[in-house]
Structure 1
Amino acid sequence: MLGWFGLPEGAPPGAADRILEALVRELSGGGLRLAGAVQVNLDRGQNCACDMDIVVIGEENRPIRISQSLGTGSTGCRLDPGALETAAARVAARLAGAELLILPKFGKQEAVGRGFCDVIGQAVLGGLPVLLHVPRDQRQAFAAFSGALAEEIRPDALTDWCRKQLTGAT
């Protein structure tokens, strides 16, 4: 099963990341075997873009910086696609034995078939439930990618959805 959630328009930046980080803490504390990653944004102060790190679940002391500094006045995308691919490879290497895969989001890289796409496909083919955030501007691409396999979940129901995936309850 492929579960996803969105946030209402106007949600504060980084809200989905904080929701997933709290969910991972809660589920890990309950002894569940999780694979995946969360994004942690590090505030660099007013007038500075945040630094974006991916923390692979189970490798908390080895964050991967996925943002790059482009300099003052730059307007290009700050994502380092190579670093994102490194994160995806490290997540893929940890899928064996997991009960649930949690990923930060289906973003622009995934919309063009990169990033975590292969990891998502591998998990779904292996019967491993997947949960991720889908930003509003990527929902059409996500629908094309996931077809009828995806289920939308309210943000306040994520814990229940995860537990149901693990117990088989409906």
Structure 2
Amino acid sequence: MLGYVTLEESAGAADRLLAAAAATLQAEGLRLAGAVQHNLERGAGRECDMLLRILGTDSVIGITQDLGSCAQGCRLDTGALAQAVALAEGVLAQGADLVIVNKFGKQECFGNGFRAFIAEALARDIPVLLSVAEEQLAGFRAFAGDLAQPVAAEAALDWCRSHVRAAA
């Protein structure tokens, strides 16, 4: 019960898809755990700020750090990401019908980020939907093995609904 979408057509497409799916499913009464990403544009020539909305809470965590205009390093604030994961774990511990995670990215490929959270949800037989960029597919497949099921963007809501019913 591990579904993934891969959308490369525009920056933030997967984020918007998962955020919209989470909003719809929460409005339908499902208990969700995990996080969806929202990007705040900062203007021409500047990188966006990445925010994680922790599902099942009112918390929003900024996960980017400002390294300055000439910086070339990774802008991810790993401490803030760890805080987001801890909040999501608290929601999961209270029970959830479905987990949505904004992405299985570099941090997860390296064994960090939401990786253990995803594994815990699967161990509890809670369906998980996430996005995976093309560059991270090999690492994701190494983690997920035969559990991973590709999901077309237009079928994401139906996938969630059918797997929640199957798990119930």
Tell me which interval the TM-score lies in, with the shorter structure as reference length: over 0.9
After superposing on structure 2, the runs of 4+ consecutive aligned residues of structure 1 that deviate more than 3 Å are none
Matched, 1:137 2:110: no
Is residue 2 of structure 1 aligned with residue 2 of structure 2? yes
User: TM-score normalized by structure 2?
Assistant: 0.96
Task: Please state if 1:72 is matched with 2:62.
Answer: no
How far apart are residue 166 of structure 1 and its match? 1.4
Alignment partner of 1:94: what SS? helix
- Structure 1 residue matching 2:23: 3-state secondary structure: helix
* Percent of residue pairs bearing the same amino acid type: 48
Distance (whole Å) between structure 1 residues aligned to residue 51 and residue 31 of structure 2? 22
- Structure 1 residue aligned with 2:118, among 109, 117, 120? 120
TM-score of the superposed pair, with normalisation by structure 1: 0.95
Equivalent residue for 1:84? 81
Q: CA deviation at 1:82?
A: 1.1
Q: Secondary structure at the match of 1:93?
A: helix
Report the Cα distance in structure 1 between the residues aligned to 2:61 and 2:137, rounded to whole angstroms: 26
Asked if 1 retains the 8 angstrom alpha-carbon contact of 2:50 and 2:63, the reply is: yes
Structure 1 residue 12: deviation in Å?
Answer: 1.3
Equivalent AA in structure 1 for residue 61 of structure 2: I
Contact between 2:31 and 2:56, CA under 8 Å: does it hold in 1? no
- The residue number in structure 2 matching 1:106 is 104
| Unaligned 5+ runs, structure 2 | none
More helix by share: 2
5+ unaligned residues in a row in structure 1: which ranges? none
Give the deviation of 1:159 after TM superposition: 0.5
Q: Write the deviation string for residues 73-94 of structure 1: whole angstroms up to 9, x where unpaired.
A: 1110100111111111110110
Aligned alpha-carbon RMSD (Å): 1.1
